[in-house]
Structure 1
């Protein structure tokens, strides 16, 4: 293998893994593993955003749950509001006509025009006198208070000026965005593509296909993809090769059979179907993940153990899905500072993910170490802390970055 062992010199380690095909690790173990930044670099080099899609504004509400994002910056087509308009119900007046008005000195307003909030201001008026500051006697209106120029008025262009950048590329659209765009008369938007992602469940019951299928489908949809779920398939090299080589996908994700057992044939099947570029990553959990190509598209092999699968998806496969969808490839989890209750021990040379929860006093404590399998710790956790490969861990009382799991409130 060409990737470096965990703990080797990073400058050397990060230059190596694009060269030779990794060897068969079954029954031997990994002689070396690629650094996580090297795996991320491979994905960034191999995966480019798909062409954006044009979507009618009327169809976008159904896309919001899928996280529709803009493919290009959006500029305001004109001033907003397009003309001076009332911000409250009342009568539109020339402010100079209300000078000296008071409850003991009502001032007649022969030119007053009744307006509702949102209506354009009539010519010759520059303020809206609210209903509590006026009295009416049939068609005659009197001011009981004076109004300054601009009272109750939103000026033309006060919200937006024509040509200003309204939303940037990569912006995830929200309900309020759609409301303003409709008001501006924008009827079509170019948003990120929805990549077709084939998820192959490899190896049968030992890999927990029901667990992995449900979890990975939700993750891919979150990141903007459309899922084709295949399997579970037996731990058969030929069957997996055929599934990997099948056309009509933008990305292949396979879960299971990536380790060192005799039936861990997924990496060999990927090599048969195309290219096995990297196998083994200095990441815990998830260290048996692999990258390559099959059927003309990038492929990410994930471990079958559920927590390792989740970790490798978030750090590797999710990055590929998000890039294809034209999104920010970085982790989508909100990051907030926190203080560790006790030491988080880590091994130099390996990026480690600690599942943690917040205490009542706002600190964080580990729920499960990177060595503990299973999703129970992830369910009980509020998020995770990543310990970088060059660190021996985090001492008690140190500030860490908590990345909140989906659905966890900040």
Structure 2
């Protein structure tokens, strides 16, 4: 990479979608798998497809408390003319014509029975049962395999498990799954001005590395939160090379075109810069590269720009290396409270807070998305105190007040 970038700045910025595609095309899933107990598998990514080894339920079961009967024995039954059947108790494995067996919700339906008369529709008289309702075959009966069929494909490889998925897998008799190991991500904060606490004038408390490492964990990875590395090419190169055994390396700071922005040259020296400068605001100086097959994401040093780029580039590549893809961010529809300005050709991420409709508003009214007053990319509180961001696509020149928008609730994602 030529050093004349410092004089030229960013004359050309790659579109966000193109930059991400370039990065993802340069990496492959790490392929490492392990057996994970179901109790520990929430959020884990399946390495193999899962087919049901058994049906659920594995037997025909009563869907109601009542009496299991042969449906044809009840035909014609009514309040005035009940059908009289012989009671055979609650432990019967089978019934014959003209018999009824007491069943409870979820219990097995005896052989020979094909329906259940609800307990509210019967009376017992000695050893006989009077049924006041005619039932059809299959009525109030859950058939074997009604929930899950034997051999049914439940999940594809690459699926990220949710709590409800774990319950389903347990119901078919599984107690562990084959999952990809969590993606290891080395997080290297850089900058000679950074300190961990008690800053002197001219020093800044390191926050980007902490924030990014915790995002890595939330997104299902395993973070290595490293010490701050100063603005020195040899030190930066050594730090990156020491962590190339990680699945992803991410640096914070030093990615722009100033005299102390050394990361693009360093990445190009240890590997290859794929993209430097993206049509994105805030945070266009992001640098994306690869070395020895390990993707390197160099995030800008301004906290807001760092977070925006982490969500747009680090999250997808971390998921890709971990064997799956990043799902869309959850969104909330809202009405824009004030105009958002943006530069045509640049994808803009505007931080907003959501004001819920009051009690006097019309029922079903949308919340109001209020852009934060502090818009600078160095104002960390503008993200921490926001509920999400509104994305202004590249072709648009801002959004007007009153527009109905989708607010990306990015921090609630996995």
Task: Report the TM-score, using the length of structure 1 for normalisation.
Answer: 0.83
Partner Cα separation in structure 1 for residue 274 and residue 4 of structure 2: 12
Conserved 8 A contact 1:357-1:367: yes
**1:146 to 1:389, Cα distance in 2 relative to 1, 3 A:** closer
1:90-109 equivalence runs, <5 A:
90-101=66-77, 107-109=83-85
Q: For residues 95 and 310 of structure 1, what CA distance do their matches in structure 2 show? A: 64
Secondary structure of 1:227's match?
strand
| Contact persistence 2:210–2:225 (CA under 8 A) | no
Aligned equivalents of 1:368, 1:243: Cα separation in 2? 38
Residue of 24, 27, 35 corresponding to 1:55: 35
Partner of 1:249: 246
Matches within 5 A, 1:8-27: 21=1, 23=3, 25-26=5-6
2:320 paired with 1:323: yes
When normalised by structure 2's length, the TM-score is: 0.82
SS at structure 1 position matched to 2:372? strand
Q: 1:290 to 1:114 in 2, by over 3 A?
A: same
Aligned to 1:298: 295
Aligned-pair CA distance for 1:152: 1.7
Unaligned runs of at least 5 residues, structure 2:
87-98, 196-203, 358-364
In the TM superposition, what is the alpha-carbon distance from 1:209 to its structure 2 partner?
5.9
CA contact (8 A) 2:38 2:170 kept: no
User: Could you say if the C-alpha distance between residues 339 and 297 of structure 1 is closer, same or farther in structure 2, counting changes exceeding 3 Å?
Assistant: same
Residue aligning to 1:115: 103
1:136-181 residue CA offsets vs partner (Å, 9 max, x unmatched): 3565444344433222201233334445443344433222222222
Corresponding residue to 1:84 among 56, 60, 70: 60
Unmatched tracts of structure 1, length 5 or more: 1-20
Cα distance in structure 2, aligned partners of 1:315 and 1:129? 58
Equivalents in 1 of 2:218, 2:373: separation in Å? Answer: 25
- Relative to structure 2, which stretch is displaced further, 314-323 or 160-169? 160-169
CA distance in 2 between counterparts of 1:22 and 1:209 reads 32
Q: What are the superposed Cα offsets for residues 180-213 of structure 1, whole Å, 9 maximum, x if unpaired?
A: 2222234443334411111111125548664223
Give me the CA root mean square deviation. Answer: 2.8
8 Å Cα contact 2:283/2:377 also seen in 1: no
Displacement of 1:103 after TM fit? 5.7
User: Do 1:22 and 1:278's aligned partners in 2 also have CA atoms closer than 8 Å?
Assistant: no
**Which position in structure 1 is the counterpart of 2:219?**
223
1:213 to 209, 216, 221: 209
Count of residues in correspondence between the two structures = 383
Correspondence for 2:406? 401
Cα distance in 2 for partners of 1:125, 1:89 equals 14
Q: Residue 131 of structure 1 aligns with which residue?
A: 119
The answer to whether residue 384 in structure 2 is matched with residue 387 in structure 1 is no
Q: For 1:215 and 1:181, how far apart are their aligned partners in 2?
A: 34
Distance in 2 between residues matched to 1:138 and 1:405, nearest whole Å: 66
Shift of 1:232: 1.6
User: Could you say which residue in structure 1 is the equivalent of 2:19?
Assistant: 39
CA distance, structure 1, for counterparts of residue 3 and residue 19 of structure 2: 17
1:389 CA displacement: 2.4
Residue 307 of structure 1: aligned partner: 304
Specify the alignment match of 1:355 in structure 2.
351
Structure 2 matches for 1:218-297, cutoff 5 A?
A: 218-246=214-242, 247-294=244-291, 296-297=293-294
Counterpart Cα distance in 2 of 1:135 and 1:400: 60
Q: Cα offset for 1:124?
A: 0.8
On the 8 A contact 1:336/1:401 being kept in 2, the answer is yes
Q: Is the 8 A contact 2:214 2:223 kept in 1?
A: no
CA contact (8 A) 1:68 1:173 kept: yes
